[in-house]
Amino acid sequence: MIEFTKLHGNGNDFIVIDEFENEIVPENQKADFAVKYCRRKFGIGADGILYISGSDKADMKMRLLQPDASEAEMCGNGIRCLVKYAYDNGYINLGESTVETIADVYNVKTRKDDGGFWVKVNMGKPLTKRSDIPAQGDSDDDFINVDLHDYPVSVVNTGVPHAVIFVENLDFNIQNTAPKIRFDETFPNGANVNFVRIDSNDEITIRTYERGVEDETLSCGTGSVASAYISNLLGKVNNPVLVHTKGGMLNIELDGKGFLYMEGPAETIYKGVTFK
């Protein structure tokens, strides 16, 4: 039997497996485990499997295995869910803590109020050079705009690669367009694809197609950060930015030193056991 906890951040849902004390799912089975149990209707159902374990660099370590068996470098909604789980299980206290991921070590701050459990994450500085994103091309510009499949696309890495596209209307079939950009040869590691509508000087609404899930998710934390950053950089919005997703809202802020901050909720759905 394998114990698990199901959590979500604005509808972006995850299965958390606790490996703080010992390995629960063998390394050579982790990818297949994600494929099997992330399947909705046939498994538990989730956008990914989060493994929490100890770390030599931080208070905890996060790994994310996705429904297509790939491993993501970072996940904004996922890191909030992992921190919520860590708090609930006594691994951390309210306040400041750190999380190691493949992408970086992230500083987080937690708080509780009548509205729930909130996690604010220092998402670091956005990566905009082609070699850092990574994105193919002849130059290593500091800011990349490319035309892909009839769309002007802004490219940035906010933990994972992101393509940001501005539209006036979000009412369309995302599956007809997003996969072409996600799998475009411009992105050797693939990219999440964000469609952004500017609602006001302080608010945007986005829809995100996530690589690894290979579908639209109700919310994407790194996508919200990328979309808010690009929107502000191009002078379309002020700072901070309220980002609306299908699953809820995230507050994104850029400080004077170039660091991006994301704050949003995390909620436990249920606990259970499954069988190998």
Tens of pLDDT, residues 117-132: 999 999 999 999 999 9
Q: Tell me the one-letter amino acid at 168.
A: E
Alpha-carbon distances, residue 236 vs 29, 88, 106, 200, 244 (angstroms):
45, 39, 28, 9, 16
Phi, psi values for residue 176, rounded to 5°: -80, -20
Rounded to an integer, what distance in angstroms lies between the CA atom of residue 245 and that of residue 217?
9
Mean pLDDT of the chain: 96
pLDDT reported for residue 144: 82
Per-residue pLDDT, averaged over 90-109, amounts to 98
Residue 92 has pLDDT above 90, yes or no: yes
Show the DSSP H helices in 89-243 as ranges: 178-182, 221-233
**Going from the N-terminus, what domains does the chain have, and what CATH number goes with each?**
2-124+264-274 (3.10.310.10), 144-253 (3.10.310.10)
pLDDT bin (cut points 50, 70, 90) of residue 276 is low
Q: Which of 220, 230, 243, 266 is catalytic?
A: 220
Q: Which of 58, 74, 75, 99 is catalytic?
A: 75
pLDDT reported for residue 138: 76
Rounded to an integer, what distance in angstroms lies between the CA atom of residue 48 and that of residue 164?
23
Phi, psi values for residue 34, rounded to 5°: -65, -45
To the nearest whole percent, how much of the chain has pLDDT over 70? 99
Contact indicator for 10, 77 with CB cutoff of 8 Å = yes
Residue 168 has pLDDT above 90, yes or no: yes
0.75 surpassed by pTM: yes
Binding residues: 12, 66, 76-77, 192, 210-211, 221-222
Burial (0-12, 13-18, 19+ Cβ within 10 Å), 275: exposed
To the nearest whole percent, how much of the chain has pLDDT over 90? 93
Cβ neighbours around 131 below 10 Å, total:
9
Rounded to an integer, what distance in angstroms lies between the CA atom of residue 200 and that of residue 198?
6
Q: Has 81 been annotated as catalytic?
A: no
Tell me 73's DSSP state. Answer: S
Cβ neighbours around 133 below 10 Å, total:
24
- pLDDT tens-digit series, residues 43-81: 999 999 999 999 999 999 999 999 999 999 999 999 999
Binding residues for substrate: 12, 66, 76-77, 192, 210-211, 221-222
- pLDDT tens-digit series, residues 205-264: 999 999 999 999 999 999 999 999 999 999 999 999 999 999 999 999 999 999 999 999
Rounded to an integer, what distance in angstroms lies between the CA atom of residue 245 and that of residue 48?
18
Q: Has 220 been annotated as catalytic?
A: yes
